[in-house]
Amino acid sequence: MVCTATLYNYIEAQYLEVRNIDLLEKTSRRVKREHRANTKYKRQLAGRSIDERPKRVDNRREFGHFELDTIVGKRNGQESVIMTLIERKSRFQFMRLIDGRDADSVNHAMRGIIAEYGDTIQTITADNGSEFAELSTVLDNMATVYYVHPYRSSERGTNEVHNKMVRRDFPKGESLDAVSPLAVAATEARLNHLPRRQLGYHTTEEVFVAERAKTQRRVAKAATAG
């Protein structure tokens, strides 16, 4: 068994019958650029800035911190979209096919997720779009919502990486009106059952279930002690 870095070196050296163009993730990656600290953002944030988010969220050691986004098919704003909610530590994600890129559709889908998994949500980091403007009301003080700066999708890096994976099943430019909720659920299941190197080759679902169980045990223990 060789490490991933060695495999990439073999490919670069043409020792294997695989080329860089065959690696979907590698060919789509962009070189990161540094952003100036004094950059001025013209669009006002919908709520609390990501600058206010606790630093402990950044290192992924703590469970319960999510990123939220929508994936569009055609960019006319008049059709169905896929809402994605992903937990940063486990990389487990919820995918929901919703009627449109608007607050009502997002709020309805979020209420369904919160009803079952609300006990796991500590924070949500969302895009600054108007469809996410009412999240704090939907969460009803259950969790804190933070908004990334306009045009800085890299501040939701987990979302961005996984959106590329979702795009393999739902390419840009293709209408999502013809897509069924079952198809979206199938993609969600496939990605959540995919072993990840970052997780010691456990699946995202395995890690999510284990971390959620820990959280529930801590809550139960605290309630008993109180």
Mean pLDDT to the nearest integer, 5-11: 67
Burial status of residue 110 (CB atoms within 10 A of its CB: 0-12, 13-18, 19 or more): buried
For residue 2, what pLDDT is reported? 66
129 CB neighbour count, 10 Å cutoff: 18
pTM of the full predicted structure? 0.79
The more confident residue out of 75 and 194 is: 194
pLDDT at 41 over 50: no
Is residue 100 within 8 A of residue 81, CB to CB? The reply is: yes
DSSP string, 49-116: EGGGS-GGGTTS-SS-EEEEEEEESSTTSSS-EEEEEEETTT--EEEEEES-SSHHHHHHHHHHHHHH
Mean pLDDT to the nearest integer, 127-134: 90
Is residue 84 within 8 A of residue 169, CB to CB? The reply is: no
- At 150, phi and psi to the nearest 5? -55, 140
Q: What are the tokens at 111?
A: 């209420």
Q: What are the tokens at 1?
A: 């068994």
| 207: nearest Cα among 107, 112, 88 | 88
86 CB neighbour count, 10 Å cutoff: 24
The DSSP letter of residue 19 is -
Mean pLDDT to the nearest integer, 141-150: 90
pLDDT at 63 over 50: yes
pLDDT at 93 over 90: yes
Q: What are the tokens at 187?
A: 């993609």
User: Mind listing the domains of the chain with CATH numbers?
Assistant: 44-225 (3.30.420.10)
pLDDT at 184 over 70: yes
Most confident of 4-13, 34-43, 165-174: 165-174
Instruction: Give pLDDT tens digits for 95-110.
Output: 999 999 999 999 999 9
- CA distances to 39, 85, 93, 97, 185 from 181, rounded to whole Å, are 40, 16, 15, 6, 6
Is residue 66 within 8 A of residue 89, CB to CB? The reply is: no
pLDDT, averaged across the chain:
85
pLDDT at 39 over 50: no
pLDDT at 37 over 50: no
pLDDT at 53 over 60: yes
Asked which of 9-18, 24-33, 131-140 is least confident by mean pLDDT, the reply is 24-33
For residue 19, what pLDDT is reported? 56
